[in-house]
Amino acid sequence: MDNIFNYRGIAQDIHFVGRETEIKKLSSDFIFLTNAAIIAPQGWGKSSLVHQAAKVASHKEKSLRFAYVDLSNVRNEERFFELLVQGVLKAVSSSQKDVLDNVGKYFTEIHPKISFDSDSAESLNVDFDWEAIRKNQDFLLDFPSQVAKDKGVKMIVCIDDFHVISQFADPESLLDGFKARWSRQDGVSYCVCAAALAMVEKFISSTPIFYRYGDILRLDKIPVKEMSAYIRERFAECAKYLDIETASYIAELVDCHPLYTQQLAHQSYLAAAVVCSKEVIAKAHETMVDQMGLVFENLTASLTTQQLCYLHAVLAGETVISTSEVLFRHHISSATSASRSKTALLERGIICNIDGKISMADPIYASWLKNRYFAKK
């Protein structure tokens, strides 16, 4: 039984840890078609929370349909619209025949290319001609609402990695389209998951369906106590043992980062005999850091000297990176330079701002920087 931890996909059921309050709130939002924005760094379990809340809500309200739009590997507006239509069609189609019938019903002016990777409706792929998308954006943006109305269902469109839109050629135009169309739609709500980037904050704070009538969930870290209890339960199920202190050590080494906690626990479980020790965990952690070395080298090479100096200050535990003493200690040229570096690093998701406290978004990258990169300087 090797996969006792889940770090390669959506964490659900026994692999989903904590967040009872958020599940209760978000599932209620889904049922009552309240728009929601979930803000947290990468890997903190936003997608898993959405799926877990969707499962809870679907048990209570049978008319709910969920259209999932994953933007993690999307780089242009065209693909966004294809995935939007694809998600809605999957949400209301139980077979490939249903998909084709729905396409024939709704797409009389524009004609998407439909294909399937297997025999199920879930394997659907949708492709559009870019010119057709450009001329019919309002129709495509209203598509979820139109389908919900016709089918007599409640449609929740869940857009993951919403912040990726900032990388599109003309993000402002698309976001303006969202504001104009979403506020007029019936039978549909939107749940966007994103890192706390300036574009996301600006969109949410200027869109009434979120800041005035919706919910904004800013995820906190899952407490060490909850993470360690989960780790011990999973180890025990497979006849291996670690005490509370050792289980907590796993969570603390990766700063309670949900994805990395699962991964480190999995690697430690595989390496342990019957009893898992801190030495086994520390070695597994070092292996994880080393495995990411090339990725981190490339990332670090893309940063300016002043940005690296700012990260050095963050890793040193500096809380106010603007005083002359702190700037001098970490070779930051000026308070203005520190401010620019902070803004750039936040926009790239390398650091995060949780309740006014700046920290590294990726604890494995933090370990690599501190113990590999800066240690050589």
Q: Is the pLDDT of residue 80 over 70?
A: yes
Structure tokens at 377: 């300087």
Q: 14-48: per-residue pLDDT in tens? A: 888 889 999 999 999 999 999 999 998 888 889 99
User: 39 - beta bridge partners?
Assistant: 194, 218
Structure tokens at 57: 């809500």
Mean local confidence (pLDDT), 343-367:
90
Picking from 171, 156, 131, 186, the residue whose alpha carbon sits closest to that of residue 63 is: 156
d(CA 137, CA 81): 8
Domain 224-291 has CATH 3.30.70: no
3-state DSSP assignment of residue 16: coil
d(CA 34, CA 67): 15
Q: 202-236: per-residue pLDDT in tens? A: 888 888 888 888 899 999 889 999 999 999 999 99
* pLDDT cut 90: percent of the chain above it: 71
What pLDDT score was predicted for residue 377? Answer: 66
Non-local (6+) Cβ contacts of 101 within 8 A are: none
- The ranges assigned to domains in the chain are 19-218, 224-291, 294-376
Non-local (6+) Cβ contacts of 273 within 8 A are: none
Q: What is the CATH number of domain 19-218?
A: 3.40.50.300
Could you tell me how far CA 347 lies from the centroid of its own chain? 15
Fold of domain 294-376:
Arc Repressor Mutant, subunit A (1.10.10)
User: 190 - beta bridge partners?
Assistant: 157
